[in-house]
């Protein structure tokens, strides 16, 4: 087995040192070192030692020959090998490798490079395996998209395609590639494992299965062996997505034992499609801390799971834990919605700072519209269970006559449940709250004598409650202002997380695996080889 990557941390106790070898690609680029950590992680998936520490590799007795092509730039993850991928693959051939694993790629195709991999396959019986790419698009990545190379997509723990995985007619196979644990370069204990996501992580799973099959079924005809083994991997894959081969999963998810059985018995026939296990978002109706706009449906778009799925937790979970589309949720019976029967106490007033941002305009209202009454109403279990929450599914029917708050149930307060009032008055700005935060909205001022007691103080967005809230005699007829996500979080659904909780612009940290062939997150591609 040959791994073309960022080297390997030979000193890790989770490797059998005698099974490791490699080629230094210069006097300073040593195969046995890995400042990037990427190559060690991929190698651990293949050959992590079969013991009680760290991880156990898919082919834990495999011998790994490491070619280090990444060592430059930040964290040592930039391409640095002058001889290029052709030179690296020739070193693999010279080392006697039967399988080449490449968790790397780029957008530029080369006829010379394509011919090289075709020759390795057809003339030398070497199977090359590479990452399909993490661009969440149909773009081709190379070397994965050369016909002679197996292109590997990534799936999550629910056997669903990873949100970042590239999809096209060159994808051959899929394998686990979301939150994959493996050996951590620099860790001397073997137990401080590293978790990465990406088609980079899926690739060594397939390469390791191929190595197992070569170890068992190699004959005196290597040219036929590579054809048989590639075919066995493909026809025994667990079919997912559209029946038969499709652009997301290729032939399906790699199945080592089925491929072994197929070659053992000479009965390499494709498995029937397997229905995915039922998955339900948990909790049902989850959305992140920035509000209902950023629900599991929003995370299903593009690469949002990969980019934001481990941040912005709400209800005790991130999107990658709560949403099926991000590899979370639960299988089996659906959980209950997120309403809990425990009542909560009404808030008390405490002055605090005013927001730093002003509200933005929204379209004007027409006369005689239904307005939630009080506007901004939510039930006794808190702001999560507002009129928009009750508008989902059968929540009005199931809970609408219970959990009263501000003197009303949802069926009385919410237009979505048949309540509310027909009014020409609109809070201005819509969604106003005072300088102490969203708790003290117009709905709060509707309680008791709050308008009289506090309505001329605690101004926010340029207005007091007595100016902004219809319940306090303020508001306006028809036209109004709208707060998209609160005074200090002016963002749109198309520009997720533009601001954080204190109004500062959020930027992604750079990291060793933030690019299209590492963790699945957006950013500069640290593993994109030179053209």
Q: Looking at residue 184, which CATH number applies to its domain?
A: 3.40.50.200
Query: pLDDT at position 416, please?
Result: 83
Task: Kindly report, residue by residue over 229-241, the tens digit of the pLDDT.
Answer: 999 999 999 999 9
518 close to 526: Cβ distance less than 8 angstroms: yes
Assess if residue 124 is contained within a domain: yes
Assess if residue 492 is contained within a domain: no
Count CB-CB contacts under 10 A for residue 106: 21
Catalytic residue among 89, 145, 200, 386: 200
Residues 325 and 370 grouped into a single domain: no
Assess if residue 416 is contained within a domain: yes
Residues 211 and 320 grouped into a single domain: no
DSSP state, residue 214: H
Q: Which residues contact 330 (CB under 8 A, 6 or more apart)?
A: 279, 280, 282
Q: Is-catalytic flag, 5? A: yes
Assess if residue 340 is contained within a domain: no
Residues 373 and 292 grouped into a single domain: no
Query: pLDDT at position 512, please?
Result: 27
Which 3 state secondary structure label does DSSP give 211? helix
172 close to 150: Cβ distance less than 8 angstroms: yes
Alpha carbon distance 444, 437 (integer Å): 11
Catalytic residue among 14, 38, 179, 288: 38
Residues 29 and 111 grouped into a single domain: yes
Res 344 pLDDT > 50: no
Assess if residue 204 is contained within a domain: yes
Res 264 pLDDT > 90: yes
Residues 324 and 373 grouped into a single domain: no
- The first and second tokens of residue 3, run together, are 């791994």
Residues 82 and 136 grouped into a single domain: yes
Q: Is-catalytic flag, 200? A: yes
Residues in the chain: 531
Give the mean pLDDT of the chain. Answer: 79
Residues 112 and 53 grouped into a single domain: yes
Residues 318 and 385 grouped into a single domain: no
Query: pLDDT at position 531, please?
Result: 23
Task: Kindly report, residue by residue over 128-164, the tens digit of the pLDDT.
Answer: 999 999 999 999 999 999 999 999 999 999 999 999 9
Alpha carbon distance 309, 256 (integer Å): 30
136 close to 248: Cβ distance less than 8 angstroms: no
Count CB-CB contacts under 10 A for residue 261: 14
141 close to 107: Cβ distance less than 8 angstroms: yes
Catalytic residue among 5, 281, 290, 379: 5
Assess if residue 141 is contained within a domain: yes
pTM of the predicted structure, to 2 decimals: 0.55
- The first and second tokens of residue 250, run together, are 């290729």
Task: Kindly report, residue by residue over 285-323, the tens digit of the pLDDT.
Answer: 889 988 888 999 888 888 788 888 888 988 888 888 888
Residues 181 and 72 grouped into a single domain: yes
Element (H or E) spanning 192, and its range?
Answer: none
- The first and second tokens of residue 74, run together, are 């930040």
Task: Kindly report, residue by residue over 460-481, the tens digit of the pLDDT.
Answer: 878 888 888 877 878 765 332 2
Q: Is-catalytic flag, 51? A: no
Residues 364 and 300 grouped into a single domain: no
Give mean pLDDT, residues 367-371.
56
* Longest distance between any two alpha carbons in the chain, whole Å: 93
Q: How far is CA 335 from the centre of its chain?
A: 22
Res 371 pLDDT > 60: yes
5 close to 43: Cβ distance less than 8 angstroms: yes
Q: How far is CA 167 from the centre of its chain?
A: 16
Alpha helices in 339-424 (DSSP H): 387-390, 395-399, 410-413
Q: What does 334-390 look like in DSSP terms, one character per residue?
A: PPPBS------PPP-----PPPSS--EE-PPPPTTEEE-SSTT-B-TT-TTSBHHHH
357 close to 488: Cβ distance less than 8 angstroms: yes
Assess if residue 252 is contained within a domain: no
Alpha carbon distance 168, 137 (integer Å): 8
Which 3 state secondary structure label does DSSP give 305? helix
How many structural domains comprise the chain?
3
Residues 44 and 189 grouped into a single domain: yes
Residues 196 and 103 grouped into a single domain: yes
Predicted confidence band of residue 330 (pLDDT cuts 50, 70, 90): confident
Q: What does 92-111 look like in DSSP terms, one character per residue?
A: HHHTT-SEEEE--BBS---H
Alpha carbon distance 406, 448 (integer Å): 9
Cis peptide before 380 (omega within 30 of 0): no
Count CB-CB contacts under 10 A for residue 151: 30
Cis peptide before 355 (omega within 30 of 0): no
Which 3 state secondary structure label does DSSP give 175? strand
Assess if residue 233 is contained within a domain: no
5 close to 38: Cβ distance less than 8 angstroms: yes
CA atoms within 13 A on the CB side of 296: 19
| Domain span holding position 288 | 279-331
Alpha carbon distance 317, 288 (integer Å): 8
């Amino acid at each position: 087995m040959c791994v073309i990557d960022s080297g390997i941390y030979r000193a890790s106790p989770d490797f059998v040192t005698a099974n490791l070898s490699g080629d230094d690609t210069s006097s300073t680029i040593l195969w046995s070192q890995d400042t990037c950590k990427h190559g060690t992680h991929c190698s651990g998936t293949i050959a992590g030692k079969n013991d009680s520490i760290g991880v156990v590799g898919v082919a834990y007795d495999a011998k790994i020959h490491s070619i280090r092509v990444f060592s430059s730039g930040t964290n040592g993850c930039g391409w640095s090998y002058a001889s290029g991928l052709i030179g690296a693959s020739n070193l693999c051939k010279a080392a006697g490798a039967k399988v080449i694993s490449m968790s790397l790629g780029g957008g530029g195709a080369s006829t010379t490079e394509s011919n090289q991999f075709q020759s390795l396959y057809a003339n030398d019986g070497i199977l090359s395996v590479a990452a399909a790419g993490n661009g969440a698009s149909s773009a081709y990545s190379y070397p994965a998209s050369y016909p002679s190379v197996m292109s590997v997509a990534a799936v999550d723990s629910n056997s669903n395609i990873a949100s970042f995985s590239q999809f096209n007619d060159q994808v051959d196979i899929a394998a686990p590639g979301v939150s994959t644990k493996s050996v951590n370069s620099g860790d001397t204990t073997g137990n401080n494992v590293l978790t990465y996501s990406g088609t980079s992580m899926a690739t060594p799973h397939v390469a390791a299965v191929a190595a197992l099959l070569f170890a068992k079924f190699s004959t005196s005809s290597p040219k036929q062996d590579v054809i048989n083994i590639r075919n066995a991997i493909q026809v025994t894959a667990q079919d997912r997505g559209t029946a038969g081969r499709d652009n997301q999963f290729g032939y399906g998810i790699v199945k080592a034992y089925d491929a072994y059985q197929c070659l053992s018995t000479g009965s390499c026939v494709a498995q029937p499609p397997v229905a995915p296990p039922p998955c339900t978002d948990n909790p049902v109706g989850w959305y992140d801390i920035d509000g209902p706009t950023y629900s599991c449906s929003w995370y299903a778009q593009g690469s949002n799971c990969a980019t934001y799925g481990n941040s912005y937790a709400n209800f005790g979970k991130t999107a990658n834990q709560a949403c099926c589309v991000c590899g979370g949720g639960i299988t089996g019976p659906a959980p209950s919605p997120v309403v809990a029967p425990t009542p909560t106490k009404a808030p008390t007033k405490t002055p605090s700072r005013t927001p730093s941002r002003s509200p933005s305009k929204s379209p004007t209202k027409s006369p005689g519209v239904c307005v939630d009454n009080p506007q901004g109403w939510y039930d006794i279990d808190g702001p999560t269970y507002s009129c928009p929450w009750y508008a989902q599914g059968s929540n009005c029917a199931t809970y609408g006559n219970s959990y009263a708050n501000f003197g009303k149930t949802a069926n009385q307060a919410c237009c979505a449940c048949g309540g509310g009032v027909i009014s020409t008055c609109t809070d201005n700005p819509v969604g106003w709250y005072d300088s102490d935060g969203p708790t003290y909205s117009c709905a709060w001022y509707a309680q008791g004598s709050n308008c009289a007691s506090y309505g001329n103080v605690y101004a926010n967005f340029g207005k007091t409650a007595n100016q902004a809230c219809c319940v306090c005699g303020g508001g306006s007829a028809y036209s109004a202002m709208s707060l998209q996500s609160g005074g200090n979080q002016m963002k749109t659904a198309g520009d997720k997380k533009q601001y954080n909780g204190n109004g500062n612009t959020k930027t992604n940290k750079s990291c060793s695996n933030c690019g299209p062939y590492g963790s699945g997150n957006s950013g500069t591609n640290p593993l994109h080889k030179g053209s």
